[in-house]
Structure 1
Amino acid sequence: MKGVLLVNLGSPESPDPKDVKPYLDEFLMDKYVIDVPYLLRALLVRGIILRKRPEESAHAYGKIWTKEGSPLVVISKNVHKKVQDRVDVPVALAMRYGSMTIQKGLQELKDKGVTEVLLLPMYPQYAMASTKTIFVLAEELRKKHFPEMTITRINSFYNKKDYIQNLADSIKEHLEGFDYDHLLFSYHGIPERHIRKSDVTTTHCKINSSCCVTASPAHEFCYRHQCFETTRQVVELLNIPKEKYSETFQSRLAGDKWLEPYTDIEINNMPAKGIKNLAVVTPAFVADCLETLEEIAMRADEDFKANGGENFKAIPCLNEDEAWMDTIANWIKEWAKN
């Protein structure tokens, strides 16, 4: 019997520092997130970062928390229900971090008689800190607890035509009536070394102006290429001229070389360049979360206007968009037929 496991990032149980701290510990101690030797990672995370970060993150979570709970979890649960209503095979939902574990999701499917699992990380672009860590943990759990199961993976969907159409339609809808000077595609940042580590050719990724537009097997696992390709296909559909859009990367940690240009720096500099009306879309996410709701829709908005900007529009993620729900369901149906 076939079944599906949808997986997203996760969330603390509440916006209280006592709940945020263990969540951040699990997240940041993941060797695919901070990919340094264990002792150094423990020193960085538990000796430095977790001394102040839980309080800071708790404050940020508190700004976006709803009566129903974490926006990411609430949206993901609604997506799960809507997708399940559209397909005949069992669908379960899990998070990489927090209490909604992948093990629980696989167990739920097993209890329904599932032996063939379609594992779908809810990330359009592949990255070791998001997609790979899900795949590795799922395989470890399969071997240990669910040896009778087989798992089929969806590495990414950044260039699937139906996803691109959903994204373009959503952007178009939310831009109606907003006379924007510039559309910024803000993707989640990752360290540059993650790009090189994911290069299956070991030589292609130079992180320059040419490698991401030069055909290579490396692109199957290159987050940077996949971000740029997402943008390229969307602006082509929407017929947006080159001078009216750009790409940046957000949410970096200090001390490392991360993908550039940085979202916050670029946004702060835009008003001085004559960009007074700015729209921002965040296509590394399909569900609104801390990085989209607090970092972009709140902080970036404030900073843009503080630096002379006039109008700022944060375009929501696809969330529970009905056409997007149809797309996910269609992928599942297509897989289930084979």
Structure 2
Amino acid sequence: MQQKSQISNLESPISKKGILLVNLGSPKSTKVEDVKEYLDEFLMDERVIDYRWFFRSLLVRGIILRTRPPKSAEAYKTVWTDEGSPLIVITKKIQQKLQKLVDVPVEIGMRYAEPSIKTGVQKLVDQGVTEIVLFPLYPQYAMSTTETVVEKAEEIRKKFFPNVKINYVQPFYNRDIYIDCLSESIREKLPDNFDALQFSYHGVPERHIYKTDPTKTCNLNDCCSRDYNPSHNFCYRHQCFKTTELVLEKLNLPKEKALVTFQSRLGKDKWIEPYTDETLENLPKKGVKNLAIVCPAFVSDCLETLEEISVEGREEFLHAGGENFHYIPCLNDEDRWIEVVKTLCEEKLSEFYLV
């Protein structure tokens, strides 16, 4: 690991910098009532389920929250640790490791539940911080991830911390330092013999792709594969395919040995394809018996990777005739990933000095 950053030597006497790492969030416990409270906040976010409030409430509170919390609570129990939610535990480890490398305060916040974004900002402000680099821990841009974090943070800043400035780390799906880091992590964990490497990204409804495209040039057909399209900066689907393409180049793997799928569908709306679960059921019929799978939409292992992929996905693949299923963990708190976080944060910290 490198020595601590010297960025603090450049601080002006009238301002103090800080870093806020933001992840998705997790229920307080595996109790049904806590899971229900978490799902209510999560699913009632208009950037997650983008219906008008009345219809969103009817769906979430009238249907989903009447049936889903007990099942979700059981799923959380399968991944919960003695320290708590894996997502929260891992994010805290990232914070602790990063804090050893930088001379500015580092806190964490979650988009949903506690510790909230407001809690994280307040902790920094209590330490005298007036300029914050906020890092949404999502490699690719999406309305339901990066966008909702930024919008929530701005809402909180304007309401409670009007004198605080915030710089946001941008999606880093194609940054060399991230691709190098992810590729090396995958390379070290790949089994010796595998028929295919599956990249499973979190899914989003197709309409989200169009709604987040200010250029109105996306058609969800051939534009994702173009070298350039104005929508690429806002297109989650393109960014997932681009991450995969760059990683395959680093790993020197032929495209024929890899595939991209999307997981975690909700409801009956059309989501971006192909779907992870259906693919897992069909791969053995196509001769793929030994599968490695990675989830690059996540930097920290969580319910969607540890239960949905590593447990449910494994069962689907093996039940369909697969022989070996190898889940490749997320970057979590690997030292090389902490170095990437440090670099991306320092880039934004340095911009404060240019104002």
User: TM-score with structure 1 length normalisation?
Assistant: 0.98
SS at 1:270 equivalent:
helix
Is the counterpart of residue 281 in structure 1 residue 281 in structure 2? no
Per the TM alignment, residue 112 of structure 1 is displaced from its structure 2 partner at its CA by 1.1
Per the alignment, residue 202 of structure 2 pairs with 188
Per the alignment, residue 9 of structure 2 pairs with none
Which of 147, 158, 167 aligns to 1:152? It is: 167
Which of 330, 333, 337 aligns to 1:317? It is: 330
User: TM-score with structure 2 length normalisation?
Assistant: 0.93
Per the TM alignment, residue 212 of structure 1 is displaced from its structure 2 partner at its CA by 4.3
Structure 1 spans left out of the alignment, 5+ residues: none
Per the TM alignment, residue 336 of structure 1 is displaced from its structure 2 partner at its CA by 2.6
Identity across matched positions, percent = 56
Which of 275, 290, 314 aligns to 2:303? It is: 290
State the distance in 2 between where 1:46 and 1:186 align.
29
Per the TM alignment, residue 114 of structure 1 is displaced from its structure 2 partner at its CA by 1.1
The 8 Å contact of residues 87 and 332 in structure 1, kept in 2 or not, is answered as no
Which of 121, 124, 147 aligns to 1:132? It is: 147
SS at 1:157 equivalent:
coil
Per the alignment, residue 60 of structure 1 pairs with 75
SS at 1:86 equivalent:
coil
Is the counterpart of residue 328 in structure 1 residue 341 in structure 2? yes
The 8 Å contact of residues 92 and 105 in structure 1, kept in 2 or not, is answered as yes
State the distance in 2 between where 1:48 and 1:335 align.
43
SS at 2:219 equivalent:
coil
State the distance in 1 between where 2:199 and 2:101 align.
31
Per the alignment, residue 192 of structure 2 pairs with 178
Structure 2 spans left out of the alignment, 5+ residues: 1-15
Is the counterpart of residue 240 in structure 1 residue 253 in structure 2? yes
Per the TM alignment, residue 145 of structure 1 is displaced from its structure 2 partner at its CA by 0.7
SS at 2:291 equivalent:
strand
The amino acid that maps onto 1:178 is D
Per the alignment, residue 8 of structure 2 pairs with none
CA shift digits 1:90-149 (9 cap, x unpaired): 111000001211001111111111111111100000101011111111101111111111
State the distance in 2 between where 1:124 and 1:252 align.
20
State the distance in 2 between where 1:23 and 1:331 align.
30
Which of 266, 280, 289 aligns to 2:279? It is: 266
The 8 Å contact of residues 276 and 309 in structure 1, kept in 2 or not, is answered as yes
State the distance in 1 between where 2:240 and 2:92 align.
26
Per the alignment, residue 20 of structure 1 pairs with 35
SS at 2:100 equivalent:
helix
Correspondence list, 1:91-130, <5 A: 91-130=106-145
The amino acid that maps onto 1:101 is S
The 8 Å contact of residues 169 and 345 in structure 2, kept in 1 or not, is answered as no
Is the counterpart of residue 76 in structure 1 residue 76 in structure 2? no
The 8 Å contact of residues 169 and 344 in structure 2, kept in 1 or not, is answered as no
CA shift digits 1:271-296 (9 cap, x unpaired): 01000000000000000000000000
State the distance in 2 between where 1:113 and 1:230 align.
38
Alignment: residue pair count: 336
The 8 Å contact of residues 213 and 225 in structure 1, kept in 2 or not, is answered as no
